[in-house]
Amino acid sequence: MTEEDFIRVENLKKHFPVRQSILASLKAKDVPMVKAVDGISFTVPRGSIFGIVGESGSGKTTAGRVVLRLVEPTSGSIYFNGEDITKFDREKMKGLRREMQLIFQDPFESLNPRMTIYEAVVEPLEIHKIGNSDEERRKLVSEALEEVQLIPPEDFLFRFPHELSGGQRQRVAIARALILRPKFIVADEPVSMLDVSIRTEVLNLMLDLQERFGLTYLFITHDLAIARYMSSRVGVMYLGKIIEIGDVRDVLDDPDHPYTQALMAAVPVPDAAKKRGDLPIRGETPQPINLPPGCRFNPRCPYAFDRCFKEEPGLFAVEPGHGAACFLYEEFHKGRLERGRLPRE
């Protein structure tokens, strides 16, 4: 771990037991498990943005919650500023909560509809016993609302969430996260519930705040264009694994893994003449239970060959800093695959 690796996640797993009927559980030899996060590793340098992209069911939301230890990991390590927080007890974790915050997809998840905006934003200060007086806390709340451009704050303090627009509600949720002066923020699809017209405003606000406060973000999205806009590095998740990782432009402009290529091929482009080559993948993303042996993408992969059905690929460095979990590259680099068989050639 380098000094600049503010967040380092190593082989992180979260497996959930599948709920079944009493009869089924009596008959079953082993409890079936959903491998929502199944051994992911990545680092996030201080003050940078790491994007996690993936379709629904890829495990990206669970990954974000596990990194914050809002959901306990099954195994693996999470280093925060050099310390493995999976070893922290409840008390030590409580002290750290101030420094790591979550911004939800739906601001209603973090805003109680019966609380005024003031009550919602002041609550974290009260929980962490920050501010010596009501007056001081009121000042901090007003400043936080100004920081997210809810100006003048007096116009918002005593309104309720339902009286605000979706964009204003998400700004309040950001103010609520920011008021504790965190160092690390997990933003889970923070604009996907907002009108397209105001998404860029909220994304730009998040970028401004990141720069202003030197924040480190883990930015989770299903939208590849948003991942490209926000992140410097990105990991693509498929069925609980990161199957491709690297600088955002290397991964999204020149993807190596057949799944990333298929995701990119599915992105609409404005000019039909420049339509990307179709890369049909078969079927829907399966549930992360009873994963196929070998590469978990093999049932849908147009390039699958024998080895893909027997072994699970690890990340192979296709270029420095750019990895793809696909045997094709390993086979090619070992000279066992002739040129022209790689998906992007």
Tokens read off for 152:
């003048």
The crossing angle, in degrees rounded to 10, of helices 134-147 and 166-178 is: 130
DSSP state string for 286-335: PPSSSPPSS-TTTTT-TT--GGGGTS----EEEETTEEE--HHHHHHHTT
Contact pattern from residue 220 through residue 259 relative to ligand SF4, giving x for each residue in contact according to CB under 6 A and a dash for the rest:
--------------------------------------x-
Contact 50, 232 (CB under 8 A): yes
Mark the segment that binds ligand SF4 (CB under 6 A) among 74-82, 120-128, 282-290, 323-331: 323-331
CB-based contact 147:178 (threshold 8 Å): yes
Q: Taking CB under 6 A as the rule, does residue 262 contact ligand SF4?
A: no
Work out whether 297 is an interface residue with ligand SF4 (CB under 6 A). yes
Q: How many residues bind ligand SF4 (CB under 6 A)?
A: 12
CA distance 288 to 283: 15
Q: CA-to-CA distance for 231 and 174, rounded, in angstroms?
A: 18
Phi, psi of 57 (to 5 degrees): 90, 0
Per CB under 6 A, the segment of 27-35, 56-64, 179-187, 300-308 that binds ligand SF4 is: 300-308
Closest to ligand SF4 by CB, 236 or 328: 328
Complex with ligand SF4: residue 229 or 316, whichever CB lies closer: 316
The crossing angle, in degrees rounded to 10, of helices 196-213 and 166-178 is 20
Q: Which is nearer to ligand SF4, 264 or 308 (CB)?
A: 308
CB of 311 to ligand SF4, least distance (A): 9
Residue of the chain from 110, 242, 326, 332 that contacts ligand SF4 (CB under 6 A): 326
Q: Which of 100, 187, 328, 332 lies at the binding interface for ligand SF4 (CB under 6 A)?
A: 328
To ligand SF4, the closest distance from the beta carbon of 265 in angstroms equals 15
CB nearer to ligand SF4: pick between 223 and 331: 331
The reply to whether omega before 293 is within 30° of 0 (cis) is no
Shortest Å, Cβ 277 to ligand SF4: 17
Q: Minimal distance in Å, beta carbon 150 to ligand SF4?
A: 46
- What's the min distance (Å) between Cβ of 56 and ligand SF4? 20
Does 313 participate in binding ligand SF4 (rule CB under 6 A)?
Answer: yes
Residue closer to ligand SF4, measured from CB, 218 or 308: 308
- Please identify, using beta-carbon distances, which residue of 251 and 308 lies nearer to ligand SF4: 308
Alpha-carbon span 69 to 65, nearest angstrom: 6
Contact with ligand SF4 (CB under 6 A) among 53, 173, 179, 295:
295
Based on the shown chain and the rule CB under 6 A, indicate whether residue 301 belongs to the binding site for ligand SF4: yes
Stretch that binds ligand SF4, among 117-125, 162-170, 264-272, 303-311 (CB under 6 A): 303-311
3-state DSSP call for residue 39? strand
Element (H, E) at 235: strand 233-238
CA–CA separation, 104 and 193 (whole Å): 10
Q: How far is the CB of 302 from ligand SF4 (least distance, A)?
A: 8
Q: Does 331 bind ligand SF4 (CB under 6 A)?
A: no
If phi > 0 it is left, if psi is from -120 to 50 it is alpha, else beta; for residue 159 that is beta
- With H, G, I as helix, E, B as strand and everything else as coil, classify residue 216: strand
Cα–Cα distance measured from residue 5 to residue 8, given in angstroms and rounded to the nearest whole number: 6
H or E element that contains 158? none
Instruction: Tell me if 157 sits within 8 A of 142, measured CB to CB.
Output: yes
Positions touching ligand SF4 (CB under 6 A) are 258, 295, 297-298, 301, 303-304, 308, 313, 326-328
